[in-house]
């Protein structure tokens, strides 16, 4: 049995938040992940409230469930909702549009500050995603610039296209893999400490807390605490 599964075999559930300016493609990336065959919708309306979807993903330590919160990029919605977005989140995907320099600048000017204000940034696994890689001819943000950002804030990056599907699954799997590894390591430490305090004879099992999340509802909230 994988260390990532419980006696009941249910995968753990983690809350992941999508952040970034309006129009960078957050909703489109989630739609591509959950419905890989559906063509990109260009008439998609701006996200106004809280939307989330759950998706089973593979990691090197077995399957896990991601509860992906698609946030509103527009300032007037985001400001009010940010505390709810970040509550108990384990990972964040910071999205910019490679054809829009402003959306990249917003990451350091706006979104990283919001992150630090509303969440314990060190507790969150982060991934930088440059979306719309299919629009290479209109590129405004070089990979070098993005890599500098990653070095500064300590995270990895991928360029994706919600239109072609390039790197979309890989991006979500990369982040959830980091989140899951952290949870397993924290659990192992906890088990070690408990084992020491009970004289070393009864270490707690090194499993993460599990829940059976369902698409589109709030089931599984104990596991990710959201
Ligand atoms: P908010 O909900 O306002 O925060 O926006 P968002 O970040 O969710 O962006 P959304 O997914 O609504 O996409 C905005 C526009 O960009 C839509 O017209 C999409 O069709 C288009 N789009 C998204 N991803 C891509 C991509 O990878 N390539 C191209 N060419 N267009 C994309």
Q: What is the pLDDT of residues 190-206, one digit of tens each?
A: 777 666 665 544 433 33
Quote the pLDDT of residue 99: 98
Average pLDDT over residues 8-33: 92
More confident residue, 99 or 78: 99
Average pLDDT over residues 144-172: 96
**CB 161 near ligand 1, within 6 Å:** yes
User: Cα(214) to centroid of ligand 1, in Å?
Assistant: 26
Residue whose token pair is 């992906």: 68
Residues in the chain: 226
Quote the pLDDT of residue 152: 94
Quote the pLDDT of residue 73: 67
189 — pLDDT class (breaks 50, 70, 90):
confident
Among 21, 27, 49, 77, which residue has the most ligand 1 atoms within 8 Å of its CB, making it the best to mutate? 27
Average pLDDT over residues 207-214: 36
Bridge partners for 64 per DSSP? 57
Quote the pLDDT of residue 219: 35
The yes-or-no verdict on residue 45 having pLDDT over 60 is: yes
Nearest to 162 by CA among 183, 133, 185: 133
**CB 167 near ligand 1, within 6 Å:** no
**CB 90 near ligand 1, within 6 Å:** no
CB contact burial 130-149 (16+ within 10 A = b; e otherwise): bbbbbeeeebebeeeebeeb
The yes-or-no verdict on residue 221 having pLDDT over 50 is: no
**CB 165 near ligand 1, within 6 Å:** no
Most confident residue range from 35-44, 116-125, 130-139: 130-139
**CB 191 near ligand 1, within 6 Å:** no
Which percentage of the chain shows pLDDT scores above 90? Answer: 54
**CA neighbours closer than 13 Å in the CB half-sphere of residue 39:** 2
**CB 131 near ligand 1, within 6 Å:** yes
Nearest to 11 by CA among 216, 219, 209: 209
The dihedral over CA atoms of 150, 31, 224, 149, expressed in degrees to the nearest 10, equals 10
Among 25, 47, 131, 158, which residue has the most ligand 1 atoms within 8 Å of its CB, making it the best to mutate? 25
């Amino acid at each position: 049995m994988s260390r990532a599964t419980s006696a009941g075999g249910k995968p753990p559930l983690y809350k992941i938040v999508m952040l970034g300016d309006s129009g960078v493609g957050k909703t489109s990336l989630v739609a591509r992940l959950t419905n890989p065959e559906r063509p990109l919708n260009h008439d998609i309306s701006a996200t106004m409230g809280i939307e989330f979807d759950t998706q089973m993903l593979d990691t090197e330590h077995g399957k896990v469930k991601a509860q992906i919160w698609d946030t509103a990029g527009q300032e007037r919605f985001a400001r009010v909702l940010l505390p709810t977005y970040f509550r108990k989140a384990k990972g964040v995907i910071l999205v910019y549009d490679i054809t829009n320099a402003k959306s990249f600048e917003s990451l350091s000017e706006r979104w990283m500050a919001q992150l630090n204000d509303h969440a314990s940034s060190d507790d969150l696994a982060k991934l930088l995603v440059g979306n719309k890689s299919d629009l290479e001819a209109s590129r405004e943000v070089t990979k070098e610039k993005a890599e500098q950002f990653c070095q500064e804030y300590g995270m990895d990056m991928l360029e994706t296209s919600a239109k072609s599907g390039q790197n979309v699954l890989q991006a979500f799997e990369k982040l959830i893999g980091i989140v899951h590894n952290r949870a397993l390591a924290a659990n192992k430490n906890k088990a070690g400490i408990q084992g020491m305090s009970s004289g070393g004879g009864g270490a707690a099992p090194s499993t993460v807390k599990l829940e059976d999340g369902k698409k589109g509802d709030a089931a599984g909230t104990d596991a990710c605490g959201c």
